[in-house]
Structure 1
Amino acid sequence: MSYYFAIVGTQDNPLFEHEFGSSKQGGDGMSRFSEQARHMNQFIVHSSLDIVEEVQWGTGQMYLKCIDKFFNNYVSCFITGGNIKFLLLHQPTTPVSTASSRSSTSIAANPTSPQTEEAIKSFFIEVYENWVKTIMSPFYRVNMEVSSPTFRQRVAAAGRKYL
């Protein structure tokens, strides 16, 4: 499965982006987005922001689960208390059919299964903990792009650990 992770600020501006692949079940951690899909990732994630804003006021949860689907791409969301949005675009390695979604428990085979949702939630929680540590810096300003190599390494480590 390929992943594109983005943090979007309160003014719908991108604060952080990271692309990676699955490290579970024999994955090598490299994303498998096609060149054309790679260019569309930002647009897909940004287009789901309207849905995020509708869903966020209907629930008191920070983790909104899978909120949008675009062809074979799924978008999951986590919202911080400061209205910063963590968006994860995930693309299964094979097209999801109704038969495989019922019978397979593989994270890569079924992007909406409870196991996948739990893995994505754990990823978001770990990234959120690192996010809080990053924005506590006295040099950080609200809606400023995060360029810390340490933060990028920790996001990549969380991806390897859970996804």
Structure 2
Amino acid sequence: MSATYYFAIVGTNDSPLYEAEFGVQRDESKYLNQFIVHAALDLVDDAQFMSTACYLKTVDRYNNWNVSAYVTPSNVRLMLLHESKMDEAIRSFFVDTHELYLKTMLNPFYEPNAPIQSQTFSTKVSTLAKKHLL
């Protein structure tokens, strides 16, 4: 059985900028995934002041799910809901996704804190997920 991952980029005003699911997708758990990640935002805010690193590792657990987080210097949170313990692979995924997000931010037509709707961005995130997580 393949693992399931839910990835979200959350803006500075706690609004979702991007979200994607990788692996086995279950329609009934879509809203549960969003709820679990959103509930972990307060824990990310607390954890980011306890560490000097961008990658905060696992910040919350819900049943057999883990929520890992990566906070950019501009306070945008990259969140991953997952079942497995692959800290190095998750860190690599976050670093590469952060670089991809920065390239998107450099686009003069991108409005800060606006949802990312680019199909190219989604394709590249999926490729990074396959490379590091699946």
TM-score range, shorter chain: over 0.9
TM-score, length-scaled by structure 2: 0.94
Out of 111, 121, 133, the residue aligned to residue 151 of structure 1 is 121
Determine the structure 2 residue equivalent to 1:100.
Answer: none
Out of 117, 120, 134, the residue aligned to residue 90 of structure 2 is 120
Out of 4, 7, 15, the residue aligned to residue 6 of structure 2 is 4
Superposition misfits of 4+ residues, deviation over 6 angstroms: none
Q: Secondary structure at the match of 2:5?
A: strand
Structure 2 unaligned spans of 5+: none
Determine the structure 1 residue equivalent to 2:53.
Answer: 61
CA shift for structure 1 position 32: 4.2
Determine the structure 2 residue equivalent to 1:131.
Answer: 101
CA shift for structure 1 position 141: 1.7
CA shift for structure 1 position 142: 1.5
Q: Secondary structure at the match of 1:141?
A: coil
Determine the structure 1 residue equivalent to 2:30.
Answer: 38
TM-score, length-scaled by structure 1: 0.78
C-alpha distance in 1 between matches for 2:31 and 2:109: 32
Determine the structure 2 residue equivalent to 1:96.
Answer: none
Q: Secondary structure at the match of 2:91?
A: helix
C-alpha distance in 2 between matches for 1:83 and 1:122: 19
C-alpha distance in 1 between matches for 2:49 and 2:64: 27
CA RMSD of aligned residues (A): 1.0
Q: Secondary structure at the match of 2:108?
A: coil
**Which structure's residues are more often strand, by fraction?**
2
C-alpha distance in 1 between matches for 2:81 and 2:75: 19
CA shift for structure 1 position 36: 3.0
Structure 1 unaligned spans of 5+: 22-30, 92-110
Out of 8, 15, 18, the residue aligned to residue 16 of structure 1 is 18
The letter for the 1-side match of 2:60 is D
The letter for the 2-side match of 1:37 is S
Residue deviations 1:24-51, cap 9 Å, x none? xxxxxxx243x43222111000000000
- Larger Rg over CA atoms: 1
Q: Secondary structure at the match of 2:6?
A: strand
The letter for the 1-side match of 2:44 is V
C-alpha distance in 2 between matches for 1:71 and 1:32: 18
